[in-house]
Amino acid sequence: MYVIVAPIQIKDGHKEEFIKAMLENAQGAVRDEPGCLRFDVIQDGGDANRIWLYEVYRDEAAFQAHMQTPHFAKLRGIIADWRDDGPTGAGRGSHNIWPPDEEWK
């Protein structure tokens, strides 16, 4: 499995529209991408303008395919000005340890 954990800092006044756009992307990924197994959008407990993404893909190729989808392109085009952490943020790809890959559904 290929896992992305990404913190995103949202500029004041843009949280609601950012979340709406991000949910559209997350739902599109889970619904339309066979290689996307999970896409969680999480509200930080200590900072109302920090969102965490937790994404699980079958492999890195599935994640690269996600970044070529229409819903991701749309998201990237509209959220850039709403972020406080730059266009790439601090997310990074990682590899799963537990649960074992074969236990993912």
The tens digit of pLDDT for each residue in 58-105 reads 999 999 999 999 999 888 888 888 888 654 445 567 777 788 888 876
Residue 105 belongs to a domain: no
Residue 23 belongs to a domain: yes
Q: Give me the CATH number covering residue 65.
A: 3.30.70.100
Residue 74 belongs to a domain: yes
Domain count, the chain: 1
Residue 81 belongs to a domain: yes
Closest CA to 79 of 55, 60, 59, 53: 53
The DSSP output letter for 46 is S
Residues 49-65 have a mean pLDDT of 94
More confident residue, 93 or 43: 43
Residue 56 belongs to a domain: yes
More confident residue, 82 or 33: 33
Alpha carbon dihedral 87, 80, 44, 55, in 10-degree steps, equals -70
Structure confidence at residue 104 (pLDDT): 72
Backbone angles phi, psi at 55, to 5 degrees: -125, 140
Closest CA to 22 of 38, 9, 41, 45: 41
Residue 34 belongs to a domain: yes
User: pTM of the prediction?
Assistant: 0.85
**Could you tell me the two tokens for 78?**
């509209």
Q: What is the extent of the structural domain holding 44?
A: 2-97
Kindly report the average pLDDT of the chain as a whole number.
87
